[in-house]
Amino acid sequence: MAPKVSEEYKEQKKIEILQAAAIIFGEKGYYSTTMDDLVKESKMSKGAIYHYYKSKEEVYEHMLQLQAEQTIQLLEEKFAMLPFTTEKVGMLFDIYASNKWLNEPKLNSVRNQLEHWIAGSRAVNREKYEDRSLVFYRFLTKILQQGQESGEFSKEIDISNAAKLFWSMIDGILLHGTVLEHSFSYVEVVSMAKEMYITFLTRGVKE
Amino acid sequence: MAPKVSEEYKEQKKIEILQAAAIIFGEKGYYSTTMDDLVKESKMSKGAIYHYYKSKEEVYEHMLQLQAEQTIQLLEEKFAMLPFTTEKVGMLFDIYASNKWLNEPKLNSVRNQLEHWIAGSRAVNREKYEDRSLVFYRFLTKILQQGQESGEFSKEIDISNAAKLFWSMIDGILLHGTVLEHSFSYVEVVSMAKEMYITFLTRGVKE
Amino acid sequence: MAPKVSEEYKEQKKIEILQAAAIIFGEKGYYSTTMDDLVKESKMSKGAIYHYYKSKEEVYEHMLQLQAEQTIQLLEEKFAMLPFTTEKVGMLFDIYASNKWLNEPKLNSVRNQLEHWIAGSRAVNREKYEDRSLVFYRFLTKILQQGQESGEFSKEIDISNAAKLFWSMIDGILLHGTVLEHSFSYVEVVSMAKEMYITFLTRGVKE
Amino acid sequence: MAPKVSEEYKEQKKIEILQAAAIIFGEKGYYSTTMDDLVKESKMSKGAIYHYYKSKEEVYEHMLQLQAEQTIQLLEEKFAMLPFTTEKVGMLFDIYASNKWLNEPKLNSVRNQLEHWIAGSRAVNREKYEDRSLVFYRFLTKILQQGQESGEFSKEIDISNAAKLFWSMIDGILLHGTVLEHSFSYVEVVSMAKEMYITFLTRGVKE
DNA sequence: CATGAATGAGCATTCATTCAT
DNA sequence: TATGAATGAATGCTCATTCAT
């Protein structure tokens, strides 16, 4: 209702829309969510939403981007203080094993990411999705490199592929965990993956 | 009154619909594919399709089921003749590494499975999806058990979780490979996963 | 409701839609007419209309085309039996002077043609509108040529421009007549135009 | 309480809005132009425009009125100095034949007038449009009357209808010229109309 | 006076499903 | 059985107008 408002106000409004979007898209998925659903969830008018985003697609895109950024940011914060790279990689698994990743909102966020990933892989502009992955790959590759340099990890391993393998594994586990929920022993599987992966990285390294 | 056409005829018709469905759903995804698309692809009339399947959803379901069955059957055929379980597990990776899994139709099939998995995980009747996974889990669990019994694999490993981990990993790799395609070094990553997984299974086992 | 219907049936349906379109577009104009108006007027379902035409625009286009064709056909029928071209040109005016051109449906048809003409002149694909005019120009040019050849009309006149002038004049009179209706002495103005135009064509011709 | 700003300021603002309106309505037509388009073109805020005009319709109305007034004023200025009415009528044609009437802005103005004329002829308050025409009719009727009184024009002609015929002809030619643009030999047709019309008026008058 | 964010009714179009023939 | 015309609720999006600041 306020004209000529501050930039922060507008930014705040966009965040509010994205938060409602996260809830409702998470609940019903991209296709089954209607703009009326989002209107109801956000308690804004349709016009207001279209004032800030020019399509349902755009709302979704921005929501995904925000979630990816928040994830990366979270990871980097946690990592700032750890001295050893082995610990870092271990913590990465621990983060995903922690119950934070099992509650409803996170689950939905994961579902969204995966769903749009797949849908998007059919789209013409697939680069966007590639970019989003590369951020995650790069994040881990850097850590693995530190590990090789410090002598913690075997130098024979191709760290670029190892990073890809890590995220593939995590996404696969999240996928199964998301779909199967309680019949999938999520924590145990992540734990097994952690042991397997770290053993593999440190294999043949003298301690 | 005797039916006008044979059962085989009807079964054949249903298969034809499913084949068209695999192509068109694979190309456009569940939501973006319309029944008119399926009509065009299958070269049948709308009435005919609705005669054999009572909804779009049902066509999709049956198509997925068929694809899953074909995959399991393929795997079992390949495995019949291998004596050592280590070889079997290795072959499992090799199958996924082989170029059969990189061509367009397979890719689409994978996309379909994953997409519906995720969408379905939100649905009320999630059991259906759980069942489909359990078939795969059980298939591998049996093999891993043989491996433990023959002394090839470490007895300390929880084979049920190891099976879950395997399929999570494979689906995760397929997911990344599907989305990223050429910028994802698919074969190398599968190969690394193979080495890692088998090492993990056989770790501590005297040879 | 009938599947696999005859071509005539389909043609008939399309005509029905066009007839309803002529009424409702004529009444409210292109922009103010909604598809719901057309649904109500045609007593068909929205889906049925979209089954035969792929957009509101297309319905409008086809309606215009039909009206133009009907006009040309009407003119040609009337002309078949007249021996002298002067009489033909005279009759052309008489047709427009006749009260047929003053009743509501015709008036609306004229309004539609003119309205879309103008709107269309801004459009990218203006050729369509040009074509429609050229049909009318050509129709008259042929007659004027016969008149010159038979010696009825002055040979100094550029008949191509004279044809353009005729239709400009008629459209202008229709425009004013349509807009001003009763305060525009339509019949008298057409009559004056007739005298002026024919005098001009036959000027200097020995009788 | 005294107004905060002068009347001239307000008048100036309204003119500015109308100038932007002439451009943007001319370009896109009444229906396809949005208030946001007008905001952008006028470089004013939406609130400002609604402060001076109470609706889109009103802006359009005022714009048309202004354009009509300017046209009449232009004509009257040109005519003040001509002694013979035949010359005046000739000049009227010449004005329309001059290239001023072929450039983009004028063309758009013509389009606007015609478009709204037609749309308006459906409206309830048609008198408004009638009035606007009557101004033009009256303007020419006066001149034709002078011509009859001075003996330049035939006394047998109904000058009221002749005035109507003139403007019908001009609008018709503008209509065709506007729609067909380069494939319509505008200057030649106006020139032919001039010869025809003046011959008609002066027919049977001894010189 | 000026601003532009907010409103929400309105619109064209889509599409799964039905059913008369 | 087979056909495809018909249905109409549902959907994403637009835009003239209002009004708090």
Is domain C82-207 given the CATH code 1.10.357.10 in the classification? Answer: yes
D89, D75, D65, D72: which is closest to D153 by C-alpha? D89
Q: How many residues does chain C have?
A: 207
Structure tokens at D13: 């603002």
The span from the CA of D120 to the CA of D157, in Å, is 31
The span from the CA of A44 to the CA of A14, in Å, is 11
Backbone conformation region of residue B146, classed left if phi is above 0, alpha if psi is from -120 to 50, else beta: alpha
Q: What is the DSSP string of B80-115?
A: TT---HHHHHHHHHHHHHSGGGGSHHHHHHHHHHHH
Higher pLDDT, C126 or A146: A146
The span from the CA of C163 to the CA of C159, in Å, is 6
Whole-angstrom CA distances from D144 to B191, D87, D203 are 98, 11, 14
> Which residue shows structure tokens 């709302």?
A59
Strand, coil or helix: C76: helix
Whole-angstrom CA distances from C124 to B28, B118, C119, C128, D34 are 32, 45, 11, 10, 19
The span from the CA of C175 to the CA of C112, in Å, is 11
CB contact under 8 A, B200 and A203: no
Residue C55 is predicted with a pLDDT of: 96
The 3-class secondary structure across B166-182, one letter per residue, is: HHHHHHHHHHHHHHHHH
Q: Tell me the chain B residues in contact with residue A161 when contact means C-beta distances shorter than 8 Å.
A: 185, 188-189, 192
Q: Do residues C137 and C163 make contact, with C-beta atoms less than 8 angstroms apart?
A: yes
At residue D93, what is the residue type?
F
The span from the CA of A11 to the CA of C148, in Å, is 76
**What residue ranges of chain D have pLDDT lower than 50?**
1-2, 207
Is the minimum distance from the CB of A54 to strand E below 7 Å?
no
Residue C35 is predicted with a pLDDT of: 97
CB contact under 8 A, A175 and B172: yes
Is domain B64-202 given the CATH code 3.30.450.20 in the classification? Answer: no
Q: Which chains touch B (3 or more CB pairs under 8 A)?
A: A
Strand, coil or helix: A58: helix
Q: Do residues C193 and C173 make contact, with C-beta atoms less than 8 angstroms apart?
A: yes
Instruction: Read off φ and ψ for residue B205, nearest 5 degrees.
Output: -90, 125
The span from the CA of D147 to the CA of D141, in Å, is 10
Tens digits of per-residue pLDDT, A121-179?
666 566 677 777 888 899 999 999 999 999 999 999 999 999 999 999 999 998 888 87
Whether chain C has a CB inside 8 Å of the CB on D170: the answer is yes
Going by pLDDT thresholds of 50, 70 and 90, the confidence category of residue A69 is confident
Out of 3.40.640.10, 3.40.50.740, 1.10.10.10, 1.10.10.60, select the CATH number for domain C1-63. 1.10.10.60
Within 7 A of a protein CB, which nucleotides of strand E?
1-21
Is domain D1-54 given the CATH code 3.30.420.40 in the classification? Answer: no
At residue D179, what is the residue type?
V
Q: How many residues does chain B have?
A: 207
Structure tokens at A142: 């850097």
Whether chain C has a CB inside 8 Å of the CB on D121: the answer is yes
CA B41 to chain centre: 23
Within 7 A of a protein CB, which nucleotides of strand F?
1-21
Q: How many residues does chain D have?
A: 207
CA B61 to chain centre: 13
| Mean pLDDT in consecutive groups of 10 residues from the start of chain B, 207 residues | 67 94 89 95 96 94 87 84 87 83 68 75 67 87 93 95 96 86 89 97 73
The topology under which CATH files domain D67-202 is Tetracycline Repressor; domain 2 (1.10.357)
The span from the CA of D202 to the CA of D148, in Å, is 9
Interface of B with A in 35-94 (CB under 8 A): none
Residue B83 is predicted with a pLDDT of: 79
Tell me the CATH architecture of domain A1-64. Orthogonal Bundle (1.10)
Residue A126 is predicted with a pLDDT of: 64
Is the minimum distance from the CB of D50 to strand E below 7 Å?
yes
C74, C101, C83, C70: which is closest to C143 by C-alpha? C83
Considering Cα of B161, then B163, then B166, then B167, what sign does the dihedral take? negative
Q: Do residues C63 and C33 make contact, with C-beta atoms less than 8 angstroms apart?
A: no
Which positions ≥6 away from D53 have C-beta within 8 Å?
A: D14, D17, D59, D62
> Which residue shows structure tokens 């370009």?
D27
Residue B67 is predicted with a pLDDT of: 85
Quote the mean pLDDT of chain C.
Answer: 87
A36, A191, D114: which is closest to C111 by C-alpha? D114
Whether chain C has a CB inside 8 Å of the CB on D106: the answer is no
Q: How many residues does chain A have?
A: 207
Q: Where are the domains of chain A?
A: 1-64, 82-207
CB contact under 8 A, B117 and A189: no
Residue C1 is predicted with a pLDDT of: 47
Long-range contacts of D180-187 (CB under 8 A, 24+ apart): D180/C121, D180/C129, D180/C130, D180/C133, D181/C121, D181/C126, D183/C130, D184/C164, D185/C160, D185/C161, D185/C164, D186/D97, D186/D101, D186/D102, D187/D97
The span from the CA of C51 to the CA of C64, in Å, is 19
Considering Cα of A50, then A56, then A62, then A63, what sign does the dihedral take? positive
Tens digits of per-residue pLDDT, C19-42?
999 999 988 888 999 999 999 999
Do D67-202 and D1-54 have the same topology in CATH? no
Query: Is residue D95 exposed (0-12), middle (13-18) or buried (19+ Cβ within 10 Å)?
Result: middle
Residue C104 is predicted with a pLDDT of: 64
CB contact under 8 A, A179 and B121: yes
Q: Do residues B67 and B113 make contact, with C-beta atoms less than 8 angstroms apart?
A: yes
Structure tokens at B53: 């399947």
Q: Which of residues 24-83 of C touch strand E (CB under 7 A)?
A: 33-36, 46-47, 50, 54-57
Other Cβ atoms closer than 10 A to B65: 14
Mean pLDDT, residues C68-80 taken together: 84
Higher pLDDT, A195 or C97: A195
Long-range contacts of D34-42 (CB under 8 A, 24+ apart): D42/D16, D42/D17
To the nearest whole percent, how much of chain A has pLDDT over 70?
88
Tens digits of per-residue pLDDT, C158-188?
999 999 999 999 999 988 888 787 788 999 9
| CB hemisphere CA count around D205 (13 angstroms) | 19
Is the minimum distance from the CB of B132 to strand E below 7 Å?
no
